[in-house]
Amino acid sequence: MSAHRLLIVALAAVASLSTPARVHAQNRGAPPPAPTAKASASIDLTGNWVAVVNEDWRYRMVTPAKGDYKGVPITSEALKIVNAWDPAADEAAGNQCKSYGAAAIMRVPGRIRVTWQDDNTLGLETDAGMQTRLFRFTPVPAPAGQPTWQGHSAARWERGGRGNPATGSSVGSLTVVTTDMRAGYLRKNGVPYSENAKVTEYFDLAPLPNDGQLLVVTTAVNDPQYLTQTFIVSSHFKKEADGSKWDPTPCSSTW
């Protein structure tokens, strides 16, 4: 290729990258609308997932003894609540979902189902406790009134470059920040978080052998009232082919 021909090719390439946006702006007089969260998703979290409890089995698969808060950096104020835990009283007061709130729900053994509620809202349902979380990608103020178990979640995609087509892996992640929650329990046996707690979560995907896929959720809970430092856990879920094992089960204070 001659030098002039190469220059023409280079200039054409530059023009092809820079022209469309200008032309678009000239034609319509306004910048193009921002793509929806659904259209701009860096990873695909939708589908059915099952929790695999390789970690903290004794604190997740069964209800541990009253007063057992090992691994949770609680304050002395929280310790009073831990020692006063009364599951029957919670049940009677209609607070049986206290251990299914946003700060704890990803640690509850069960299945989750992720679907788009609309172009800018990703929904995450749990069969254990029958909870629904809504991850909103557009700024929406928290609704007035009482806080809820799942609180108000603001979501955003994080870009992470390109994946590896050879392994089928994708990169990028979802960050979700949740506030405005009802006070609840980090563990079934009454280890508390307050309504001022803030939960930051990161959702990442990884391939598994035999074409499997794993969802890893890192949960960081900050609560100056009941925690002396950030409480961080990472939970993982295997993708399932369908929802045939979905088994909705109501909240329980005792199990």
Partner 1 sequence: MGSNTVLVNVVTLRTALVLLVLLWAPVNRTVFAQTELAGSWAARNTEDISRDSYPVDYLGLPLNDEGRTRALSYNESQLAMIERQCEGWPAFYFVQGPFGLKIWSDTEPVKGTAISFTIGAWEDRAPMTIWMDGRPHPSKYAEHTRGGFTTGRWEGDTLVTYTTHMKAGFLRKNGPPSSDEATMTSRFWRHGDILTVLAVVEDPIYLAEPHIITKSFQLTAAPMSPVGPPCVSGFEGRRPGESVPHYVPEKNPFVDELTKLFHLPRAAVVGEPETLYPEYRKKIKATYVRPETCTRDCGATPPR
Of 33-72, binders to partner 1 (CB under 8 A) are 50-59, 61-72
Could you report how far apart the first and last alpha carbons of the chain are, in Å? 74
Interaction residues for partner 1, span 69-128 (CB under 8 A)? 69-76, 78-79, 109-111, 128
Least Å distance, CB 109 to partner 1, is 5
Q: Give the residue with the Cβ less far from partner 1, 160 or 243.
A: 160
Structure token pair of residue 207: 């391939």
**Residue at token pair 């392994």:** 167
Contact letters for partner 1, residues 133-172 (x by CB under 8 A): -------------------------xxxxxxx--x-x-xx
Q: Which residues of 147-156 are buried (b: 16+ CB within 10 A; e: fewer)?
A: bbbbbbbbbe
Least Å distance, CB 28 to partner 1, is 26
Least Å distance, CB 100 to partner 1, is 14
Report the phi/psi class of residue 91: left, alpha or beta, with left for phi > 0 and alpha for psi in -120 to 50.
Answer: alpha
Instruction: Figure out which of the listed residues 230, 243, 248, 250 binds partner 1, where binding follows CB under 8 A.
Output: 230
Least Å distance, CB 39 to partner 1, is 19
Taking the C-alpha atoms of residue 108 and residue 208, their distance in angstroms, rounded to an integer, is 22
Using DSSP bridges, classify how beta strands 198-208 and 173-179 pair: parallel, antiparallel or unpaired. antiparallel
Are the CB atoms for 121 and 137 separated by under 8 Å? yes
Q: Give the residue with the Cβ less far from partner 1, 102 or 174.
A: 174
For residue 147, give the DSSP letter.
-
Q: Is 130 in the site for partner 1 (CB under 8 A)?
A: no
Q: Is 231 in the site for partner 1 (CB under 8 A)?
A: yes
